């Protein structure tokens, strides 16, 4: 490696550690394009030089403990800035509330500049270096990040890397006919090649945005638009695209973003004759971005949005020697959890968790019950078929259950992207509404309110029992219900995901102090779960974890062990009281009540759970 005179010792050392692999992968992907690689190195140093000293100090601290995100008790909260507090300054003003929620990992949903009505919730970015004016400025984002760092909180931000808005500067110049900018996208003179792509590339939104290409009348050409016609896919075959997008990512890191969420990362490499999903070149690009971050801002983490089955998700961790993403979404467990709520049968969830628990401990998952998106029923239907489950019929049952269309179902949700032909509709709704709290309150049924709220709390206990980073959806801490007002908004009414994207009700949030309210009961329960989760080593990510056999298909059992501490966690997904037929020899303490309890034939009320804890004194230091 030839060291340039302007490089300082720290940058040189970091680059030297990664240089050989960086150059090899870059040259392999871009056919030895020396000029592009030289620019790439210059871009890395420029971003390193522009990084302010406070962030460089944080980098050095995290470099000394590279597993800091596994070792710290991170608890996340995901929110839309406008829904939580109007704008970024509002979020900053409410950091006390966020900390009161026990949160130290703040995920801000897309807030970069996007065109109104053609933004897909902020995922059609027109400027990667400007915040949407209604939400504030890039300085406001930096100020918020600084304030979070003062409180030892990390900030996560979405980085939409598969596409830009059709209003992006590059897209505008492409529409003017400039070939240099058309080459940053996928433009075709006619439909012949796009038609060949369509033979092998699945449609993301077959009902609301069919096809993977759109006609651009300005230049009389076809452009690739995998998601929506106003989102133009970027051409990562072009090294300029990779260089400039990596530059944009590092720019956001330099504004204090600690975690970069790589949106739709499996889609970023397109190749004729393939599904254009999860291709080997995607992993090359992610590995290059990981090394770029390690050179410029090693305190930054990459969170991969890979919403697929485990066999396709796990490769995005890379290997121990050549890591890619630091964190990945545990999407299959999320979907399997809601399946279990509807069926009251834990066998699929046990099967799913057994797969996750068998993975190496260095794999860190982000666990969640709900997010900004819909719930897709991407379950393990090969496993379910042995119980006579038909995929199409089962998806219909799940959607009917959570819309309250089935007898004794209290769920209240709506369909998303309903496709009668493929019968592959997905589901929307807040956690509380899907659990039945909304129906119970509407009916003014106190017993039903108790039962549905207990289910909501039990699901959060299950969330905190898993290894990884638990993330709450803003509003879930006070059992916020569906927001049906989106039906009256012409810019939102066609997207049912806005059902669970309602603004935080601050009047309801004030009720968190009153233990006799739904909000107060939910808030205090989650705070207690968080406090217990942070007080015992057995909840550490490094703990051993396994599925405990309960000999009851309605009760899920999970065991955890670390440094002499053992936990038996039991979750009853039934509407009736059940018994977990476990027979553990030790004497335990129920962490929720503080009372001694045996782990033998444990009775669990309907929709409830038990955290049973014991400690082996002779194994302690």
In 103-204 the beta strands, taken as DSSP E runs, fall at 105-108, 112-113, 127-131, 154-160, 163-165, 187-188
What is the rounded distance in angstroms from the CA atom of residue 76 to the CA atom of residue 366? 9
**Is 373 one of the catalytic residues?**
no
Average pLDDT over residues 360-366: 92
Q: Do domains 9-156+239-328 and 330-535 have the same CATH topology?
A: yes
What is the rounded distance in angstroms from the CA atom of residue 572 to the CA atom of residue 75? 24
Q: Domain 330-535 sits in which CATH superfamily?
A: Glycosidases (3.20.20.80)
Over the stretch 205-259, which tens digit does the pLDDT of each residue have? 887 789 999 999 999 999 999 999 999 999 999 999 999 999 999 999 999 999 9
Over the stretch 421-473, which tens digit does the pLDDT of each residue have? 666 789 999 999 999 999 999 999 999 999 999 999 999 999 999 999 999 99
Dihedral Cα 198, 199, 202, 204, nearest 10 deg:
20
Nearest of 606, 610, 562 to residue 588 by alpha carbon: 610
Q: Domain 163-233 sits in which CATH superfamily?
A: Oligo-1,6-glucosidase; Domain 2 (3.90.400.10)
Over 70: is that where the pLDDT of 71 sits?
Answer: yes
Give 619's pLDDT tier (boundaries 50, 70, 90): low
Of 1.20.1070.10, 2.130.10.10, 3.30.470.10, 2.60.40.1180, the CATH number of 542-619 is 2.60.40.1180
Over 50: is that where the pLDDT of 621 sits?
Answer: no
Q: Which helix (H) or strand (E) holds 76?
A: strand 76-79
Domain ranges, ordered by start, for the chain: 9-156+239-328, 163-233, 330-535, 542-619
Catalytic residue among 233, 247, 263, 608: 263
Question: What separation, in Å, do the N-terminal and C-terminal C-alpha atoms of the chain show?
Answer: 48
Catalytic residue among 305, 414, 456, 477: 305
Give 418's pLDDT tier (boundaries 50, 70, 90): confident
Q: Domain 9-156+239-328 sits in which CATH superfamily?
A: Glycosidases (3.20.20.80)
**Is 443 one of the catalytic residues?**
no
Over the stretch 268-302, which tens digit does the pLDDT of each residue have? 999 999 999 999 999 999 999 999 999 999 999 99
């Amino acid at each position: 490696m030839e060291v340039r005179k302007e490089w300082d010792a720290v940058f040189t050392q970091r680059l030297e550690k990664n240089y050989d692999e960086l150059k090899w992968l870059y040259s392999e992907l871009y056919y030895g394009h020396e000029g592009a690689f030289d620019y790439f190195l210059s871009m890395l140093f420029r971003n390193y030089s522009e990084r302010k000293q406070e962030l460089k100090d944080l980098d050095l601290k995290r470099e000394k403990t590279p597993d800091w995100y596994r070792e710290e008790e991170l608890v996340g909260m995901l929110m839309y800035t406008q829904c939580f507090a109007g704008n970024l300054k509002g979020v900053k003003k409410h950091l006390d509330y966020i900390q009161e929620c026990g949160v130290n990992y703040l995920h801000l949903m897309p807030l970069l500049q996007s065109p109104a009505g053609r933004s897909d919730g902020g995922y059609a970015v027109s400027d990667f270096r400007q915040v949407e004016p209604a939400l504030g400025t890039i300085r406001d984002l930096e100020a918020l990040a600084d304030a979070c760092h003062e409180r030892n909180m990390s900030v996560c931000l979405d980085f939409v890397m598969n596409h830009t808005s059709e209003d992006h500067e590059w897209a505008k110049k492409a529409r003017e006919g400039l070939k240099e900018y058309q080459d940053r996208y996928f433009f075709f003179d006619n439909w012949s090649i796009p038609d060949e792509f369509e033979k092998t590339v699945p449609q993301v939104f077959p009902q609301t945005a069919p096809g993977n290409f759109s006609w651009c009348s300005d230049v009389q050409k076809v452009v690739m638009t995998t998601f929506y016609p106003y989102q133009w896919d970027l051409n990562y075959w072009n090294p300029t695209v990779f260089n400039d997008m990596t530059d944009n990512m590092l720019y956001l890191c330099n504004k204090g973003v600690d975690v970069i969420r790589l949106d739709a990362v499996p889609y970023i490499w397109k190749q004729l004759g393939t599904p254009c999903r999860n291709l080997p070149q995607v992993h090359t690009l992610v590995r290059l971005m990981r090394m770029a971050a390690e050179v410029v801002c090693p305190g930054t983490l990459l969170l991969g949005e890979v919403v697929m089955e485990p066999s396709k998700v796990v490769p995005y961790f890379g290997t121990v020697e050549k890591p890619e993403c630091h964190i990945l979404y545990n999407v299959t467990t999320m979907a399997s959890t809601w399946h279990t709520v509807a069926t009251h049968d834990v066998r699929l969830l046990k099967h799913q968790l057994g797969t996750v628990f068998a993975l190496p401990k260095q794999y860190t998952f982000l666990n969640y019950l709900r997010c900004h998106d819909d719930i897709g029923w991407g379950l393990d239907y090969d496993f379910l078929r042995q119980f006579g489950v038909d995929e199409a019929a089962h998806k219909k049952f799940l959607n009917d259950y959570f819309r309250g269309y089935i007898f004794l179902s209290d769920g209240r949700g709506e369909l998303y992207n309903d496709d009668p032909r493929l019968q592959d509709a997905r589901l929307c709704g807040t956690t509380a509404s899907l659990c039945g709290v909304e129906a119970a309150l509407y009916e003014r049924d106190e017993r039903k309110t108790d039962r549905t709220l207990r289910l909501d709390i039990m699901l959060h206990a299950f969330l905190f029992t898993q290894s990884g980073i638990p993330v709450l959806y803003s509003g879930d801490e006070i059992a916020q219900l569906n927001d049906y007002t989106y039906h009256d908004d012409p810019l939102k009414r066609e997207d049912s995901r806005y059902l669970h994207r309602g603004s935080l009700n601050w009047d309801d949030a004030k009720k968190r102090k009153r233990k006799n309210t739904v909000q107060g009961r939910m808030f205090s329960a989650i705070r207690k779960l968080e406090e217990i989760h942070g007080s015992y080593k057995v909840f550490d990510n490094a703990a051993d974890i396994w599925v405990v056999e309960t000999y009851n298909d309605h009760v899920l059992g999970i065991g955890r062990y670390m440094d002499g501490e053992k936990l038996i966690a039991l979750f009853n997904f039934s509407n009736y009281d059940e018994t977990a037929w476990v027979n553990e020899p030790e004497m335990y303490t129920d962490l929720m009540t503080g009372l001694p309890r045996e782990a033998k034939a444990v009775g669990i009320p309907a929709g409830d759970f038990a955290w049973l804890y014991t400690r082996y004194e002779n194994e302690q230091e």
